[in-house]
Structure 1
Amino acid sequence: MRAQSDKLSQVISISKQKYSVRSLLEKVLPENGVFVSYNDDIIPMDKQIVFKSKNGYKVESILEKICRNENLSFEVKEDQILIKFYDRPDSEYKYVISGSIKDVESGELLIGAAIYIPQLKTGVSTNAYGFYSFTLTKGVYNLEISYIGYEAQSLFIDINKNLKRNVELTPKSIELTELHVDELNPLDIKAHSILSSTNRIDMNMAKQIPYLGEVDVFQSSLLLPGITNIGEGVSGINVRGGNSDQNLILMDEAMLYSSNHFFGLISIFNPDAVKDVEILKGDFPAKYGGRTSAVMHVRQKEGNERETQVSGGIGLLTSRLMVEGPMLNNKASYLLSGRSTFWDLILRNLKNPDFNDIRANFQDVNGKVKFNINSKNKIYLSGYWGADATKIGTDAYQTWGNRMVSFRWNSILRKKHFFNTTAYYSGYRYRYVENEEFRDFTGRISIDDFSLKLDVNSYLNPNNILEWGASSIYHKLLPGELISGELDTSGNEFKLEDETGIESSIYLSSENRIGSRITTLLGLRVSHFLNNAESDVYIYQPNVPKSVETITDTLKAGNKESKTSFWNILPRASLKLLLLENTSAKISYSSSVQYMHLLSNFSSPTSSDNWVMTGRNINPTEMYQGTLGVYRYFPSLEMNVSAELYYRRLDDVIDYKNGANLFLNPQVETELIFGDERAYGMELFVKKTFGRWTGWVGYTLSRVERKFDSQFEELTINEGNYFPSDFDRTHDFALTMVFNANEKWSFSSNFVFYTGRPYSFPDSKYEFDGILIPNYPSKNQDRLSNYHRLDLSATCKLGEYKRTGQKRGYESNLVFSVYNVYARKNAQAYFFSEDEDRTGKPVVNQLSVLAFPVPSITYNFIF
């Protein structure tokens, strides 16, 4: 036994990464005094053996590699090793089948396509890059492959070695004369994500519904349950009552800070370039962090791999153009798109002088290149640049926008480990310019992020998928700067010092299928934030409200004592139970932390709002959420139905003292107060995705309340009691319908109803210097009137064929839409003034935005 142990434990030097079995048995082992007896007829002599390192391998390890997945075993007899035939059961053979799922027409990878194995009653979904992997025992299997809006495929495989199977799916076509519905595919329930509170925006369906101007990701999301905003003409979205800064907005893995163009009416995402939109409402996978409300991940298309295409649209509000196609002999693909508005030119040339001083324009450019290095390695380079400019009357000229560059490397290791390495830069710039005497200055605010992260999917077997990775972001903020111009003689130049911080994390999650009915997802994220204290840090007197008068000391920038560090351990867990073949229930728990905060005196974020970092005087916001849901699929109608209950708690949310000064304030923490928030509710959702009639209906019943309680009056709101948040909305209902009348015409409609948002009304008035001033006794104890609106749209598909019967080389359509059809005057706000005819009598005035029908026409084309 000792001789056997010594022989098998001998270490053999390995100089190359790959050897044939013949080379190992006839050269490498004998040269090291190890002799093997075998029969050539049973040994796969040309089989290639891969070695990961050159540090040397034990003889036992080398022999295991030779015999693995073969009918072979080995043993030591005297001074020789014998390899012999061994009839193993099929269950001892493990092979990997992997590949990607694509659109047959464009070559675009399909995210979330389902691959199901009926014999095992299990399956997986493709990841964000269209990749899938199974580890299976030897045998014959049937793979059922499906994706919403595409024809399903069946693939029979006899697996006796590692296999690669790429599949291309064909888009479904609607036969209006005879509607055929497939039988239930078990993938629709068993292979979908285990995560609760997840929505995906189907861009093909989104292009059919009415919009204000053009197809828009944010306008689509507002029709889903639990997602709202303050009102028309404002920026950002609020998910389950969270502030807009609590949303993690990603484009191709890179984080963005500003998400809207054109007074908040249009998102920064060009619909032509968008491939997939995933919205996670609080139940985050372990890979996501840094925000406490939601994740919206927008992935751009990769460029058509088959042929060059030009598409775009011309509309009253925006116009856009996109070019995509293959390059480098089909080893790469590219996409380039741009958008702009002509409103600036229109306003300048109007005869009415009231409009001549108004400036309103935006532009953005998207670009992406994908390089197929080989079957296991791909490189992506994505970019975005956007800019807005506005000026109304004598107001300052304002410009702002995002810029982003993202580099990603996809690599597949041993067919079941998918690596995605991302490095990105993301920046935000805001500038405002005054050109009047004594007010000639330029102000600016900026954010710059530099990030590196690694995300790995390990498909260990059909019942166990690991996700793990790490990330780090270097944040650099310029909170504010004023630069005097030539006409300003005041010399009031001022700059707040830059702030820098490093936000890092590691994570691990494991999805496990237990039997045929239970699936669990256990995750852990460890988060760390370091504020480098690049600006002075103020020490305040304890146990009293922070103010300039209570500063007791100043820690100079760069001082070790001024740096602050935060650690957070964030568990996530989900459980899915398959109740019936097409019905499941889920329960989940999630926690997260946010270190970056948006400061704004307005309910809706504006371009001039500023971000601040967690530090010695500003706490991170922490979130804890639980969700319970039931989900059912009706195969005869191709309809999904879901009902969810949720409860979410946030600690250290930020509000402001009365009259808070947030502008260029080096002691901005003296204007902040910290409290708690709770949000709870029920969301109902019904969606039909295929057929002549499609659409969805969503309803949300919810409450969002805040509490700021302190022994000091200036740090207390509403006597320390819970009160409705600005984003509280009791009832929220949205109905979206699309009717495909025939091959030429389709019609759609949106109807929206929701409870008016909380508002503060005065209970009395007083006079100061001859001016009537309203007195507000408490915050958000009243509400605006209820909101409702109807939008209609019609799409006319222009002729595909010429009069001669020859098919045209392009496709096009005209979209006619009317926003707010019945001219509902929805209240955005109320303000108070004195009656011109009756001195001392106040008048309540209602502010309504778009209180009239807004028609739009857009011409779309692709060739």
Structure 2
Amino acid sequence: MKFNKWIFYLLISVGSISTAQTSSNKTPLTAIIKNLEQQFSIKFSYAVEDINTISIEKPSNAFNLQQTIDYLNAKVPLNFKALDSRYITISRLDKTISICGFILTEDSQKSLSGATIRTNNSKVTIASKNGSFNLENIPLETSITISHLGFETKEIKATAFFASAKDCPTIYLKPTKEELNAVLIPVFLTSGLQKAIDGSTILNTKKFGILPGLTEPDVLQSIQTLPGIESANESVANINVRGGTNDQNLMLWDNIKMYHSGHFFGLISAYNPNLTNKVVVTKNGTSAEFSDGVSSMINMSTNSEIKNSVSGGGGINLISGDVFVQIPLAKNLEIDLSARHSITDFVNTPTYTNYYKKSFQDTEINADNTTKNSSSDFYFYDYTAKILYDANDKHQFRANFIGITNELNYTETNNSDDSKSKSSALSQKNIGLGGSWNAQWTPKLSTQFNSYYSRYNIDSRDYRIATDQMLTEANEVIETATKLNLYYAFNEHIRLLSGYQLNETGMLNQTRVNNPFYSSTKKSVLLNQALYTETEYNKNNTYFRLGVRLNYFQKFQKFLLEPRINFRQKLSEQLALKVESEFKNQSSTQIIDFEDDFLGVEKRRWQLVDNQNIPIATSKQVSLGFDFNEANWNMELNGFYKVVNGITASNQGFYNNFQYQNAHGSYTDRGIEFLINKTTQKYSTWLSYTFSQNNYYFESFSPSTFPNNVDIRHSVTFGFNFNLQQHFKISFGAIYHSGIPYTKPVAGNETVKNGNNYFVNYDAPNSLNLDDFLRLDTSLSYDFSFSPRLKAILRAGIINVSNQNNIINRYYKVDPNDTSKTVQVNNKSLGLTPNVSFRVNF
């Protein structure tokens, strides 16, 4: 078997473990009952499971029997009833209560507005400006979770409100070092999506509600709901942020840089959303702490808090199954494990079939040929492990491991001649190993030390029996890095960050043929160092972050200075002005090789810059915008201007006359992003629009300026989520955007001959556009409980409900039957694709 499936069985076995722990300074009810039996010579009749977890203050010794019973009925969610002078029954009290409270910060005891109050049966409310909240019809066994970005999450049982149902208790949240980067909009588009005050978007997968077409909180699919973020070819491995290419997105998983993002060659995220705790997406105004990713940063974090009991879950959908478990081994030690595997070893579902056709269209794997028999075997898996250790209240240690794999095996046999068979294989892997040490030296001074190792491999093998020829290709990336951050909080409003980072990156590209023998191996190594500092200020109506990063490339003896600005000023209670700007660089890129690709499926290979043929990519970006928030209405308007220099023709994937040329150039993207969102406890609806004008400039080309390959002028998303019942949600939405540019051959002169080979004779580059793209999606979600501790959720979704025939790419090939003509090739999007998922969490 390709994957150690016993890992799943092991995790499921471990996940069935449950622990219970009672921690209270009050007296257990069982002990109180025994004392009362002796004091009044009475007997209580009850079920042990109804009372063994309850603790309260002892009733006064001055109470008589009736006063004692009245006291117990008022203090606990049980019914004490005297049958006669000797026997008293205790039964469960099936009722709901209304709860309320005031949320304050533990240190300054100030009201904490915007905190999220959530029950385990999905009731949600937001604390008001004075920190108050109310929830009605809450079952007594319900758990209430109170959270706010920058503060530790607190969980309280509804039974704690029972004795003081007429009073609103004060609840204190303890701040963490993220306090300055506060939440601006606690529920944005759907539950689990939040807007931070620095303009970044936060996805909390544990609290994720529902989005159109999705059955799980897929990180890279969910962020495409945001304006300015889309995928021109409907692939999560090809996320385009404000006109950038996919390799211009910095992808971090628990501070480990990852070089691979998608399973199924880009159709679903390679990161298990059920273990990922928080995702921060930043398009501009990035912290000086981070480099690389001249288009965006996608920073994923897993659980970092040690629990007091075992928790976990498992699920299955029509593509894969997964399981995860979080096991506290001691009060200060925990291990978190997860694994996910495609189900293609057992069954081919309609979802898998559609994904397969989409991934492998126009390749030799999916080619229709009546003269050949072919078979393919494709599967993927990923797994993670994390160790959490708290030496004490001031020192925390974390160690992380992640592994991602895609495997494809393909065989082809000629119907008339078995000697003309071939066998091929393709493998993609990315593993990451990281560790961190967080230390709080004084109330104002803290440090964070991170180190990681990341390795990416793609390997291809193609063996042809007739010629006894074996072709192997490989692309490898190995990166190690160390980072030290120092934080100093002058007060609750001002914080200083200073740090140092050291990166060493090595890349290899290799091609070998055994008959006739040919071998080519190219290796390169780059050492980067950086110093950075920034100050962050957040008080009343003003947020300001100013930073600078100094990069040094030892190989080229080159310095790059990168300033960063992030500013937000409230102009009124509803309206705020925001300004973001950054300089960034990138020292690695993906080259697209059309002549020498991996089975026609994966044409991208990572390469390091050499400051000559492949220069360091640099970006300059500025954006100006306004936020409006009033009565659950959120509106954003942003104008942006971005210039990226140092791109190469070989990493753009040109289907025109520049396809095989080497040149340096740039692209400029300017546009406007608009989003309006109305969110209530019952529903959420949104509409976003992006106008973008994205052009290349290559001085050595003619024409030198022409539209970018991902120049999508107009893009619109619409969504509507509605809670039909307490546990039942439905969502539907639409995605529309202009067709991307393409280049057609010259009419009447479609091909040209060079030596013995014919090539497509393309007309003006990117002068035409495909038809507009339109897709309608829908989802529904139903959650329920097997027990207070065991929860389940059933979700179903359909991508492209109307089965729209969208063309997402068009290019031309020389007609093999008539070399004077060309054949038009259209790559199509997913057709109507259903999916269903079922999850159980404990």
**TM-score normalized by the length of structure 2:** 0.70
Match in the other structure for 2:833: 854
CA apart distance, 1:653: 1.8
2:431 to 403, 407, 413: 403
Correspondence for 1:817 = 797
In the aligned structure 2, how far is the partner of 1:658 from the partner of 1:406?
A: 32
Partner residue in 1 for 2:783: 797
1:388-427 CA-to-partner distances (Å, cap 9, x unmatched) read: 0124554731001110011000111211223110011011
CA 692–325 in structure 1, closer or farther in 2 if over 3 Å, else same: farther
1:145-176 CA-to-partner distances (Å, cap 9, x unmatched) read: 643455649899xxxxxxx996626699xxxx
2:360 maps to 1:360: no
Secondary structure at 2:260's aligned position in 1?
Answer: coil
1:730 aligns with 2:713: yes
- CA shift in 2, pair 1:222/1:704, >3 Å: same
Which residue identity is paired with 1:302?
A: S
Return the offset for 1:197.
4.5
Partner of 1:424: 452
Alpha-carbon offset, residue 513 of structure 1: 5.0
Residue matched to 1:283: 285
Question: Helix, strand or coil: the match of 1:258?
Answer: coil
Equivalent residue, structure 2, for 1:76? none
Aligned 1:481-492 pairs, distance under 5 A? 481-482=511-512, 488-492=514-518
Q: Distance in 1 between matches of 2:499 and 2:258?
A: 21
Secondary structure at the aligned position of 1:222 is classed as: helix
Alpha-carbon contact 2:340-2:382 (below 8 Å) kept:
yes
Q: Match of 1:255?
A: 257
Q: Distance in 1 between matches of 2:815 and 2:516?
A: 39
User: 1:273: which partner in 2?
Assistant: 275
- Once residues 678 and 776 of structure 2 are traced to their aligned partners in structure 1, the CA distance between those partners, rounded to angstroms, is 20
SS in 2 for 1:492: strand
8 A contact 1:303–1:326 mirrored in 2? no
How far 1:767 sits from its partner (Å)? 5.8
- The CA distance in 2 between the partners of 1:737 and 1:729, in whole Å, is 24
1:763 to 736, 739, 746: 746
Q: Is 2:678 the counterpart of 1:697?
A: no
The residue correspondences of 1:452-531 to structure 2 (distance < 5 A) are: 452-482=482-512, 488-496=514-522, 498-513=523-538, 516-531=540-555
Q: Which residue of 2 aligns with 1:16?
A: none
TM superposition shift of 1:492: 2.0
Q: Deviations over 1:244-267 (max 9, x none)?
A: 111110001110111111121111
Report the alpha carbon displacement of residue 845 of structure 1 after superposing the two structures with TM.
5.3
Q: Which residue of 2 aligns with 1:784?
A: 770
Give the equivalent residue in structure 1 for 2:478.
448
How much has 1:594 moved relative to structure 2?
A: 1.3
Amino acid in structure 2 at the alignment position of 1:613: L
Q: Does 1:338 align with 2:334?
A: no
Q: Which amino acid aligns with 1:375?
A: D
Q: Using the alignment, how far apart are the partners of 1:277 and 1:567 within structure 2?
A: 31
Query: After the TM superposition, which residues 148-159 of structure 1 pair with which residues of structure 2 at under 5 Å, given as runs?
Result: 148=116, 150=118, 152=127
Judging changes above 3 Å, is the alpha-carbon distance between structure 1 residues 413 and 640 closer, same or farther for their aligned structure 2 residues? farther
Provide the C-alpha distance between the structure 2 equivalents of 1:695 and 1:204, rounded to a whole number of angstroms.
21
Equivalence for 2:696: 706
Point out where structure 2 has 5 or more consecutive residues left out of the alignment: 1-101, 119-125, 133-149, 159-179, 187-193, 354-367, 413-422
Structure 1 position 841, deviation (Å): 7.9
The aligned residue for residue 142 of structure 1 is 110
CA deviation string 1:660-719 (max 9, x = no partner):
99xxxxxxx99531112111111112344551102533221111111111xxxxx31x42
CA distance in 2, matches of 1:194, 1:382: 26
CA distance in 2, matches of 1:403, 1:423: 14
Distance between the aligned counterparts of 1:443 and 1:263, measured in 2?
A: 17
1:683 aligned partner? 673
Partner of 1:822, secondary structure, is coil
How many equivalent pairs are there?
A: 652
**Equivalent in 574, 579, 588 of residue 587 of structure 1:** 579
Query: Partners in 2 of 1:368 and 1:687 — Cα distance?
Result: 37
RMSD: 4.0
Question: Distance between the aligned counterparts of 1:429 and 1:831, measured in 2?
Answer: 29
Q: Return the alpha-carbon distance in structure 1 between the equivalents of residues 652 and 233 of structure 2.
A: 24
**Contact between 1:817 and 1:856, CA under 8 Å: does it hold in 2?**
yes
Q: Which amino acid aligns with 1:492?
A: Y
1:431 counterpart letter in structure 2: D
1:651 matched to 2:645: yes
Query: What secondary structure does 1:264 align onto?
Result: coil
- The 5 A counterparts of 1:174-323 are 189=184, 197-204=199-206, 206-211=208-213, 214-233=216-235, 235-302=237-304, 305-323=307-325
Work out whether residues 310 and 327 of structure 2, in 8 Å CA contact, stay in contact via their aligned partners in 1.
Answer: yes
CA–CA distance in structure 2, aligned partners of residues 391 and 779 of structure 1: 37
Mapped partners of 1:678, 1:719: distance in 2: 16
Answer whether contact 1:347 1:358 (CA < 8 A) is retained.
Answer: no
Query: Cα distance 1:359–1:166, how it changes in 2: closer, same or farther (>3 A)?
Result: closer
Partner Cα separation in structure 1 for residue 616 and residue 131 of structure 2: 51
Q: Report SS of the residue matched to 2:553.
A: strand
Instruction: Write the distance in 2 (CA, Å) between the matches of 1:650 and 1:591.
Output: 10
From 609, 625, 630, give the equivalent of 1:629. Answer: 625
1:374 offset after TM fit, Å? 0.6
Hey, what's the Cα distance between the residues in 2 that align with 1:387 and 1:168? 37
Instruction: Measure the CA separation in 2 of the matches of 1:658 and 1:204.
Output: 36
**Matched-pair contact (CA < 8 Å) for 2:277–2:303:** yes
Structure 1: gaps (5+ residues):
1-113, 118-132, 157-163, 173-185, 532-563, 662-668, 710-714, 802-806
Maintained 8 Å contact 2:432/2:452: yes
Give the C-alpha shift of residue 443 in structure 1.
2.2
Deviates more, 1:770-779 or 1:246-255: 770-779
Q: TM-score, normalised by structure 1?
A: 0.69
Distance 1:152 1:233 in 2: 38
Moved more, 244-253 or 225-234: 225-234
Distance in structure 2 (CA, Å) of the matches to 1:762 and 1:854? 34
Alpha-carbon distance, 1:198 to partner: 1.9
Q: Is the 8 A contact 1:432 1:444 kept in 2?
A: yes
Q: Cα–Cα, structure 1 residues 165 and 683, in superposed 2: closer, same or farther, change >3 Å?
A: closer
Partners of 2:206 and 2:541 lie apart in 1 by 32
User: How far is 1:791 from its partner?
Assistant: 1.0
Letter in 2 for 1:447: V
- For the 8 Å contact 1:529–1:595, the answer to whether it is kept is no
Whether the 8 Å CA contact 1:303–1:369 is kept in 2: the answer is no
Are 2:703 and 1:719 aligned? yes
CA distance in 2, matches of 1:589, 1:659: 29
Partner of 1:62: none
Cα distance in structure 2, aligned partners of 1:318 and 1:696: 30
CA 1:304–1:641 in 2, change beyond 3 Å: closer, same or farther?
Answer: farther
Cα distance, 1:306–1:393 mapped onto 2, change above 3 Å: same
Q: Distance in 2 between matches of 1:201 and 1:810?
A: 24
- Superposed, which structure 2 residues align to 1:822-837 within 5 Å? 822-831=802-811
Tell me, in whole angstroms, the C-alpha distance in 2 between the residues paired with 1:597 and 1:833: 27
Superposed displacement of residue 821, structure 1: 0.5
| CA distance in structure 2 between the partners assigned to 1:468 and 1:446 by the alignment | 33
Structure 1 CA distance for aligned equivalents of residues 451 and 236 of structure 2: 32
Instruction: Tell me the SS of whatever aligns to 1:296.
Output: strand
Structure 2 counterparts to residues 550-589 of structure 1, below 5 A: 564-589=556-581
After superposition, give the CA deviation of every residue in 1:96-141 in whole Å (9 maximum; x if it has no partner). xxxxxxxxxxxxxxxxxx9988xxxxxxxxxxxxxxx97x8xxxx5
Contact 1:700 1:731 in 2 (8 A): yes
Taking the aligned partners of 1:457 and 1:586, their CA distance within structure 2 comes to 25
Matches for 1:111-122 after TM superposition, within 5 Å: none
Instruction: Identify which range, 832-841 or 281-290, moves more after superposition.
Output: 832-841
